[in-house]
Amino acid sequence: MRWDDLTDPSADTAVTTHHFEVPIYPAGAADISAHESAFNTFWNGISNLISSDVAPNHRRYYNVPPTPGAPSGDPIATNDDAKVGTASGVRLPPQVACSVTEVTAIRRRWGRFYLPGFTPTSLGPNGRVLGTVVAAIADAAEAYGDSLTAAGRPLVVLRQSDRTYQLVREVRVDNVWDIIRRRRLSTTTQRETRSILP
């Protein structure tokens, strides 16, 4: 899932990766439709928190072969639409993100994805994520997972090394911002220099 920066196309685009089990491999149109429906539910729960400068409007779907090391190849489908955040005001720096932890039965096999595009209205006391924002993201992530499970395509955490996976049993969101260093702005648009008297 690509989260485009509408104000700076040259910026390092945020990408989140999500894996879900399909009833019959390889995945087909019904599997993609189930995910699109689940993502729409997720987006409806968080779109008012995401800056109007950020758009998760491109999704690519891949079949992950069960054989370790086998390439996924080209996308089996892509979906482009007009989703754009609705939060107004300035955006927090692009490297600032809120993480969603995907909890599985095995601690070492937990997953995580990082949501970008928040605005200062999501800042709580002492620079933490505002409590109502944490709750809204957790609710949306729960609805996302529940929607996929109800459709028979549960959310999973994939281990690429052996292509095994664990079912996601719960999602966790906390009030500490994460920093994705590679997403920081790559060019300056203003620089001020002052000479110091000798």
* Per-position DSSP letters for the chain, written without gaps between them: -EEEESS-TTS--EE---EE--SSSSP-HHHHHHHHHHHHHHHHHHGGGBBTTEEEEEEEE----SSTT----S-SEEEE------B-SPPPPTTEEEEEEEE-SSGGG-EEEEE--B-GGGB-GGGPBPHHHHHHHHHHHHHHHHHHHHTT--EEEEETTTTEEEE--EEE--SS-EE-GGGS--S-S-----PPP-
Domain positions in the chain: 2-183
State if pTM tops 0.85. yes
198 residues of the chain, pLDDT tens digit each: 999 988 877 777 899 999 999 999 999 999 999 999 999 999 999 999 999 999 998 999 999 998 998 998 999 999 999 999 999 989 999 899 999 999 999 999 999 999 999 999 999 989 999 999 999 999 999 999 999 999 999 999 999 999 999 999 999 999 999 998 888 777 787 889 889 998
